[in-house]
Amino acid sequence: MSTDQIPAVGVAELPVELSADGAPLMVDVREPDEWSAGHIAGALHIPMSELVARLDEVPREREVVVVCRSGGRSAAVTNYLRQGGWQVRNLTDGMLSWQAHGRPMVSESGAAPTVR
């Protein structure tokens, strides 16, 4: 399946307050070092390599937006989850776009968050 057939959403289309009722759950599929450097507060971190073993952590009753650094890994995960029946979209251009739009991020170290 080409990426243009995978359900996607741009940063500007997402609510700024992701903890609000009805906001999607962000699922970050990047590696631990990428996550530690900077991620979306409240996102669920499931590295792509662990996804199949941790599928029970991804809720089916809530919209899910999958994110990685630039949108490639998350597109593959989005397609996999969509085939499994989840209501899911890929974050177009990933964390690079999130950061470029000035959306809030946090880091594990307390240092200024960045996208790796």
Distance from C-alpha of 104 to C-alpha of 113, rounded to nearest angstrom = 9
Catalytic one among 40, 65, 68, 115? 68
* 2 confidence band (pLDDT: 50, 70, 90): low
The residues spanned by each domain of the chain are 3-15+23-100
Q: What letter represents residue 69's amino acid?
A: R
pTM: 0.94
Provide the pLDDT for residue 66.
98
Q: What is the largest distance, in Å, between two alpha-carbon atoms of the chain?
A: 39
Could you tell me where the DSSP H helices lie in the chain?
32-37, 72-83, 94-100
> In this predicted model, what pLDDT tens digit does every residue of 68-104 receive, in sequence order?
999 999 999 999 999 999 999 999 999 999 999 999 9
Strand, coil or helix: 24: coil
Closest CA to 35 of 110, 108, 102, 96: 108
Catalytic site residue 20?
A: no
Say yes or no: domain 3-15+23-100 is CATH 3.40.250.10.
yes
